[in-house]
Structure 1
Amino acid sequence: MMTNRIVTIAAFCVYLIFMLCIGMYFVGKNKTTTEYFLGGRKLGSWVTSMSAQASDMSGWLLMGLPGAAYLSGISAGWIGIGLAIGTYLNWLLVAKPLRQYTKVAGDAITLPEYFKNRFHDESGWLSVISAVFILVFFLFYTASGFVSCAKLFSSVFGIPYLVSLAVGAVVVISYTFAGGFFAVCWTDFFQGLMMFFCVVAVPLIAVFRMGGPAEFISSVEAFNPNFLSMFVDGATNTPYTAMGIVSLVAWGLGYFGQPHILVRFMGISSPAAIKKSRRIATVWVVISLTAAVLIGVSGRMVLGDGLLDGNGQQEIIYITMVSKFFPLFIAGIFLSAILAAIMSTADSQLLVTASALTKDFYHNKIRPQATEKELMWVSRGCVMGVAVIAVLIATNQNSTVLGLVSYAWGGFGSAFGPLVLCSLFWKRTNKQGAYAGILVGGIVDLVWAQLSGGIFDLYEIVPGFVCGLIAIFVVSLLTAAPSKEITDEFDSYRSCEE
């Protein structure tokens, strides 16, 4: 048994050393905060698309979504449908305009700074409020990654949960602290490739071990025909309501407000590279999400009901299948894909949170005269501080990955999504409307998430997004129109688009 663990640990170490080497390679290459937080806007199509999708999916691609499919069948795929649509529309509608406008609006390098510059908010409070929402929601999002990591190590190696949590956090913090945006994006590029290969390989092997697609489908039908229905929850054998389907598909709305994804659009080398990135990202996400659902369904056929303990054990379905199918060292490489998923998201979230706290709070309100060197060290301190708080949240061993991600995803989609769209496409949006959109959308989401029963079972991103959008329109129309300087800037950005 000890020999088995040593072999698997060796595979993990090979992977982790490779990631740390990438981080160390970029040490000293970041001379300014623009380079540390945005890579000097020098990312190519492949790195941009793969890092965006890898940072998007996180540990829930290999744990949360397969776990949901293990319980409910292919109806868990409604989330995937919403995310695939959201991914495509985000690349199609937001990527190029945001890349252009952040250059026009004072060369902004963070989302809060873009809001501040876009609406000429001299007080700076718009970016501070945005930074606060980023801090709150990313604490939970980053915690979800650390929960995934702890479950991985404790399941594979029998290491206590809290020790596993600390190990995972140290690795992610190390290369994020050292290498900044370039390190994060290049590690995410390799991690995205690895995630894609592993998430596709596992269900394919499972299906063919069962005799092929026809035998697989027959097995699922014999087990529970509702597992093959998109309109019936296979866990309870009850039909989905329209509200239930809307709640799942509405995950796609979240993309318009995710800072760790939007920052990739801001960092691409040129707007012309976005079309290629969009195609790569769309193919990646459609295939990966489909495969993740198949992991859960095929895993239920292969492993039976052994993970139905009510404490989130279904989320180790990928881990269990890999351990069952592969020789030890190969299994270790496949299990490293979970680390790839976790690290590719947690590092991005730590960096975006640090950038918001450093640029949009510390530099904006506390030390406007701070030097670049000082800001670099403050940002690294923020990486450490946010990571420690996220670890404390993740110490709750009953947390589910999907639950934590759902909470943070809805919050960002509601607080920032409506304003991102309005700022890019509606010239009449003004500063007062921007404040209203962030506050109303974010607060409605937070309050709705605490309620349950009846209409409150609707995923909070739907009321949050809609209320935020209405607030922007109503308040903008009831208050003074933007100044000519702002509208001229908008026209200038739109002419670049054309």
Structure 2
Amino acid sequence: MTVILCTIMLVAFFAVMIFVGFYTRKHATDVNGFVLGGRAAGPWLTAFAFGTSYFSAVIFVGYAGQFGWNFGLASTWAGLGNAFIGSLLAWNVLGRRTRVMTQHIDAKTMPDFFGKRFKSTPLKVASSIIVFIFLIPYTASLYNGLSSLFGLVFDIPYWVVIAVMAVLTGFYVIFGGYMATAINDFIQGIIMLFGICAVIGAVLADNGGLLKAMQKLSEVPSEGWAGGAFTSFLGPDPLALLFVVILTSLGTWGLPQMVGKFYAIKSENDVHKGTVISTIFAIVVAGGCYFLGGFGRLYGDKITINEATGKPLFDTIIPTMLSTLPSIVIAVVIVLVLSASMSTLSSLVLTSSSTFTLDVIKPASKKEMTEKKQVSIMRIFIVFFILVSAAIAIFKDSHPEVTFIAQMMGVSWGALAGAFLAPFLYGLYWKGVTKASTVVCFIWGCAIAVIQLVITLAGVDISGWGTVLSYVFKSSINSGVVAMVGGLIIVPIISMFTKKQNKAELDELFACYEEKTEAVAREHLK
């Protein structure tokens, strides 16, 4: 029965995705349409595109299981941080200014923004290379967890699941570009909203209801606690939880695939509506995922344990929780996780291909490239990025002893946000930020990530590095937070002592914020 239900729902899901790809192909005839949807996406499409790009299967299967196991119900703070810092505050601080300035300087990607904001082609190329290096392993990580979930229902090889997901995502992105991605993100977002609510309800019912489940969880012991650690307000390790909240919430401000959503929104009124929609979406989806993961300890006797470390395999926690649920709920979860993965995958490959084409290939070309040729090259790179990420995921699954790929995934978020967040944020608001400070921030963010990678892979003993450094490089979460927060401090300090941009250039750049516009009274107050 479960197999039949899952098959029916997946076939319907695939059919809708393919139809959207065909339907939106008329919007993808030029670069502006293919990359930004003609900057005409409304609040619902933009908000759901932002949210579904934010929350992938990595969140639902990996992070929810890992942080729920480590912090209990307090892991819900990570979801609320994602909602109020990663969504609400991000939209309020970045949304309008990003839309206005990127349209004014005709920037279509984050590297393009750096190049035109600081009048520097080397900056554009350098940031493009950073995106290229760190988005590929991040893209490959999106397939994590699919194997164990599909294994609940289908007896098929893991590579088949990856191939189907990759081909379908590539199909609609290649045909319809940004608009196909945005519309499918909206559909996938609806599935995620209803799916997570259904799963939470089913898991709680399976444990006797909310109060009974919390009572069981409060009886689970933790080091230094007699009981109640996993139902306490801040959990057993508040400082570690704080680092998780900062990384997963503030990190979105510097990720090119997230910030890019603000480039495409249609109007000021849509920014206000999108802020509310995106925040509510994040509360339900992110808050729900981490809240669900908080009950993972109730299944401790069934979860697979890593014999080498004695710790659970975190990607198996959520699937284990779902294995006892009714067939219809499992079918919903399969489509939910596939939706979450495909929405983020489509956003990442579109970002990667457009960045590499517009910011590396086009400037290096000796001949003038037509709009049609640029779109064709982007489509080729979409195929390339999807093939590479799928190949990495399949290789990683068949060679579990290879840890390099997994560690690259862990540091990619911190590297991208650490390099880009501060110069992008300051670049929108402050005329005083300099090109030199941006270069230093790029180096800082990438260097922290590489050091973390080397320490983890080589098994370097950092206990003698001192209390602070040992804690910073204890995990990619801690070092990622240090990279981001450090960038916010480094950029203004370096800017105070380095060469400023030409005043006339800066005045022209920031003139976009002073332009007078007319609007109806229902959209703007006098």
Q: Which runs of 5+ in 1 are unaligned?
A: 234-239
User: 1:385-400 residue pairs with structure 2 within 5 A?
Assistant: 385-394=384-393, 395-397=395-397, 398=400
Please report the TM-score for the alignment, with normalisation by the length of structure 1: 0.90
> Aligned residue for 1:429?
433
The residue type paired with residue 40 of structure 1 is G
Matched ranges for 1:339-488 at <5 A: 339-367=338-366, 369-394=368-393, 395-397=395-397, 398=400, 406-451=410-455, 453=462, 454-455=470-471, 456-457=473-474, 459-488=478-507
Measured in 2, the distance between the counterparts of 1:462 and 1:17 equals 41
Kept in 1, the 8 Å contact 2:45–2:183? The answer is yes
Q: Is the 8 A contact 2:445 2:483 kept in 1?
A: yes
User: Residue 448 of structure 1 contacts residue 460 of structure 1 at CA under 8 Å; is this kept in 2?
Assistant: yes
Q: Residue 367 of structure 1: CA displacement? A: 4.6
Is the Cα contact below 8 Å between 2:78 and 2:290 reproduced in 1? no
Q: 1:56: which partner in 2?
A: 54
User: Once the 2 structures are TM-superposed, how far is the Cα of residue 342 of structure 1 from its aligned partner?
Assistant: 0.1
Partner-residue secondary structure (3-state), 1:450: helix
1:128 aligned onto 2:125: yes
Match of residue 229 from structure 1:
232
Q: Does 1:193 align with 2:212?
A: no
Q: Does structure 2 conserve the Cα–Cα contact (< 8 Å) formed by 1:66 and 1:315?
A: no
| 417 and 174 in structure 1: CA distance in 2 versus 1, 3 angstrom threshold | same
2 CA distance for matches of 1:416 and 1:164? 33
* 64-73 or 168-177, larger mean C-alpha shift: 64-73
Asked if the contact 1:445–1:463 (Cα under 8 Å) also holds between the matched residues in 2, the reply is: no
Is residue 153 of structure 2 the alignment partner of residue 156 of structure 1?
yes
1 CA distance for matches of 2:147 and 2:494?
Answer: 45
What's the counterpart of residue 176 of structure 1?
Answer: 173
Matching residue of 1:305: 301
Mapped partners of 2:449, 2:285: distance in 1: 28
From 244, 247, 261, the counterpart of 1:248: 244
Which stretch shifts more, 158-167 or 341-350?
Answer: 158-167
Distance 1:196 1:305 in 2: 30
In 2: Cα distance, 1:284 partner to 1:409 partner: 22
Asked if 1:491 is matched to 2:505, the reply is: no
- For structure 2, list consecutive stretches of 5 or more residues without a partner in the other structure: 222-227, 457-461, 463-469, 518-526
Contact map agreement 1:322 1:335 (CA 8 A) in 2: no
Change (3 A) 1:218 1:497: farther
Q: Which letter does structure 2 place at the counterpart of 1:119? A: F
**Which residue does the alignment assign to 1:336?**
335
Paired position in structure 1 for 2:523: none
CA distance in 2 between partners of 1:326 and 1:400 (Å): 38
The percentage of counterpart residues that share the same residue type is 26
Which region of structure 1 is more displaced relative to structure 2, 255-264 or 204-213?
A: 204-213
What SS does structure 2 have at the residue aligned with 1:63?
helix
Q: Which amino acid aligns with 2:292?
A: I
**Offset, 1:384:** 1.1
Output the amino acid matched with 1:266: Y
Aligned equivalents of 2:159, 2:321: Cα separation in 1: 24
| 8 A Cα contact 1:100 1:497, kept in partner | no
Show the counterpart of 2:272: 275
Conserved 8 A contact 1:12-1:333: no
Instruction: Report if aligned partners of 2:137, 2:405 keep a CA contact under 8 Å in 1.
Output: no
Matches of 1:217 and 1:250, distance apart in 2: 26
SS at match of 1:325: coil
Question: Per the alignment, do residues 250 and 446 of structure 1 end up closer, same or farther by CA in structure 2, a change over 3 Å counting?
Answer: farther
Q: Distance in 2 between matches of 1:246 and 1:393?
A: 32
> What does residue 467 of structure 2 align with?
none
Which is worse superposed, 442-451 or 425-434?
442-451
Which residue type is aligned with residue 230 of structure 2? Answer: F
Question: Could you tell me how far apart the structure 1 residues matched to 2:171 and 2:109 are?
Answer: 22
Q: C-alpha distance in 2, partners of 1:254/1:435?
A: 19
Aligned with residue 27 of structure 2, among 14, 26, 29: 29
Instruction: Name the CA distance, whole Å, in 1 between partners of 2:362 and 2:147.
Output: 35
Would the alpha carbon gap of residues 367 and 166 (structure 1) be closer, same or farther in structure 2, given more than 3 Å must change?
A: farther
Cα 1:332–1:183 change in 2 (3 A) is: same
- Opposite residue 353 of structure 1, the aligned amino acid is S
After superposition, the Cα gap between the structure-2 partners of 1:437 and 1:423, relative to the gap in structure 1 and judged at 3 Å, is same
CA distances 1:146-204 after superposition (whole Å, capped 9, x unpaired): 23434433443122223322222222222112211000011011111111111122112
Q: Offset at 1:487?
A: 1.6
Partner of 2:522: none
TM-score by length of 2: 0.85
Provide closer, same or farther for how the CA distance between residues 141 and 438 of structure 1 changes in structure 2, counting only shifts above 3 A: same
The CA distance in 1 between the partners of 2:207 and 2:332, in whole Å, is 23
Alignment correspondent of 1:237: none
From the superposition, tell whether residues 414 and 492 of structure 1 become closer, same or farther in structure 2 (CA, over 3 Å): same
Query: How far 1:288 sits from its partner (Å)?
Result: 1.9
Q: What secondary structure is seen at the aligned counterpart in 2 of 1:477?
A: helix
Contact 2:65 2:296 in 1 (8 A): no
The count of residues paired between Structure 1 and Structure 2 equals 484
Q: How far did residue 478 of structure 1 move?
A: 2.6
